[in-house]
Chains A and B, each alone.
Chain A
């Protein structure tokens, strides 16, 4: 089943145009989905240009009291959490030895790689002086958790890029490069898990310095454990959801009917176990912080919404799906668990942050637009790659019947 030697040589034009002529390809792009994406990206790009010309004050609702807003809370914190599928799937296959998950490995790695690319773009857009980003290579603020996050993310993205190079080299037909990278995959996966542990937890540690600003129900000296555990929850969730959506929208690339329900149920088991561990950790955090009484306040109610409604509930649904052997329940639970991680990151960074301040931060439409554009670009890039490279199955057959983009 070797796919490394392309039958007729690698033809870039054929690959780019999916085997169609320029005109046919252009026509195939005219779909309602593409039109919507084009509008979103067009407006988003305009906003980004505006942001760099006019400054953050004109294009965000950031204030002196709220220096971090949606772009940090969502593009960076949530983006990195949702890209945790990369190291989670690597660990599943290489260290837990669960061979059968090869089927979902590449879609997870691709989604993670795109996630980090977009996250870094989001950070560049949020930084006040992004042209100074190279300074982290010159001046080492080693006591800064943000320094650690930056370096770990840079190192990890390099590792992830090397992991993604496997389907890329396979697509180009570069056999030697492919074989070399294949041999390195185990070492790369070790590094991936090491770097991911460090920066996923460090994102939580960013808030260790802010006990007065982050509400006591969310602040804990163990916050780095919470972020690490919830990143694995997000990783498992993303693997399940991305694979489910891919099978739904790109059925042709699967190479025939495939029953992945066993895999999904297996991941559901992992999701339930890790999710429950995370739930217990959060409860322990409240106990350790002597914040139990605060559960009776309005903030306490919101905390319970997050922990009971978006951490425990999906765990129960995962378990139910596994028990009843229904993959759909597991997939819904995965999406729900993902929403819980998004909610947690937003709570820690902007909602429960500065909780004493009477004026809350609400993102401006421009901020929402940029985040939406980043997600849209990610989806478009995912589609582009899946339509050409061997991500879901064998390398896709190209020709006039190919999908639009």
Chain B
């Protein structure tokens, strides 16, 4: 059985068509590596030395999103809480190292990465990075595959397992409020200045000012590290603190590079396979045909050289 001209054109056309149609485009969130990633994106600087644990941010967030109000009793601090499908942000209390003057409070929510793993993982782009900063979710096209949950290194997306028609739930950076020029609900109610809303580039500068003590701020008060500056290739939520990150429940195993870039090599496999496999396979077949002819048989795929026969 020969491939023939038509068969060849068929395979080549199909492969080539797929190649051109399926050309991978970089996720919109990909940075080109010039300057500070996400410099102009909206961001929040979380200063854990200023947070007093009032949990006003939790209350404001639930109100802004129509979620059930969080338990007002501070007994909740006794255990470590995570976000949930109905609570997009939580504040946890950490005792800090022995001899720490006071407990530390850390707010957790979606980090709104500059190059989000969840958005690059979603097969239907239900999660997307908007140029302004927020990583937002469109549930209407969500399949519920939960790959975003697998991909997110911070473990942020939460699933409504108890529902028959579940959605993925997480902080949306109050994208609708930001569209109206307002700060996110949490940052706008913070009484102690722990949450500062601004542009990522400016907030990185402000963080460095606080660390290095320019403009009258106390030098040496903070650790020389901004959590979120390089984590996951850079996040829009940045954290300053005076004690190490592992004392604050901030994950130090996060890679300091963009997660979507880890898939780049694999993304180029389809075009390479579509281009190389057909000639390689046909070459193998030619070699096999020659060997079969020497042994007295016919073309591969046609037992005894006959056409249209049943098998065995």
Given A190-B277, A190-B281: A211 in contact with B255 (beta carbons within 8 A): yes
Q: How many angstroms from the CA of A58 to the CA of B162 in the assembled complex? A: 7
Chain A residues within 8 Å of chain B by Cβ, number? 88
- CB under 8 Å from chain B, chain A span 161-219: 167, 170, 178-179, 182-187, 189-191, 193-194, 197-198, 201-202, 205-206, 208-213
Q: Does B213 contact A (CB under 8 A)?
A: no
Q: Is the CB of A95 within 8 A of B308?
A: no
Q: Which residues of A contact B18 (CB under 8 A)?
A: 155
Q: Is the CB of A141 within 8 A of B146?
A: no
Q: Is the CB of B3 within 8 A of A186?
A: yes
Q: Is the CB of A65 within 8 A of B155?
A: yes
Q: Does B99 contact A (CB under 8 A)?
A: no
Q: Which residues of B contact A185 (CB under 8 A)?
A: 1, 301
Question: B155: nearest residue on chain A (CB-CB)?
Answer: A65
Q: How many angstroms from the CA of A178 to the CA of B308 in the assembled complex? A: 8
Q: Which residues of B contact A42 (CB under 8 A)?
A: none
Q: Does A297 contact B (CB under 8 A)?
A: no
The contact string, 1 if C-beta is below 8 Å from chain A, for chain B 190-215, is 00000000000000000000000000
Given A64-B149, A95-B300, A202-B269: A143 in contact with B25 (beta carbons within 8 A): yes
Q: Is the CB of A139 within 8 A of B161?
A: no
Given A141-B123, A206-B147: A211 in contact with B14 (beta carbons within 8 A): no
Q: Is the CB of A91 within 8 A of B281?
A: yes
Question: B123: nearest residue on chain A (CB-CB)?
Answer: A147
Q: Which residues of A contact B14 (CB under 8 A)?
A: 191
The contact string, 1 if C-beta is below 8 Å from chain B, for chain A 108-148, is 00000000000000000001111011011011111111111
Q: Which residues of B contact A96 (CB under 8 A)?
A: 284, 288, 300
Q: Does B274 contact A (CB under 8 A)?
A: yes
Q: Which residues of B contact A382 (CB under 8 A)?
A: none
Given A4-B310, A142-B24, A151-B22: A208 in contact with B164 (beta carbons within 8 A): no
B298 to chain A, nearest CB (A): 8
Q: Does A293 contact B (CB under 8 A)?
A: no
Q: Is the CB of B24 within 8 A of A64?
A: no
Q: Which of A133, A167, A187, A208 contacts B263 (CB 8 A)?
A: A208
Q: How many angstroms from the CA of A224 to the CA of B125 in the assembled complex? A: 23
Q: Does B132 contact A (CB under 8 A)?
A: no
Q: Is the CB of A102 within 8 A of B312?
A: yes
Q: Which residues of B contact A257 (CB under 8 A)?
A: none
Q: Is the CB of A148 within 8 A of B270?
A: yes
Q: Which of A65, A95, A148 contacts B281 (CB 8 A)?
A: A95
Question: B298: nearest residue on chain A (CB-CB)?
Answer: A99
Q: Does A316 contact B (CB under 8 A)?
A: no
- CB under 8 Å from chain A, chain B span 5-38: 7, 10-11, 14-15, 18, 22-27
Q: Is the CB of A106 within 8 A of B311?
A: yes
Question: A106: nearest residue on chain B (CB-CB)?
Answer: B311
Q: Is the CB of B82 within 8 A of A130?
A: no
Q: Which residues of B contact A (CB under 8 A)?
A: 1-3, 7, 10-11, 14-15, 18, 22-27, 82, 84, 117, 120-126, 140-147, 149-151, 153, 155, 158-166, 251, 253-255, 259-260, 262-263, 265-267, 269-270, 273-274, 277-278, 281-282, 284-285, 287-289, 291-292, 297, 300-301, 303, 307-312
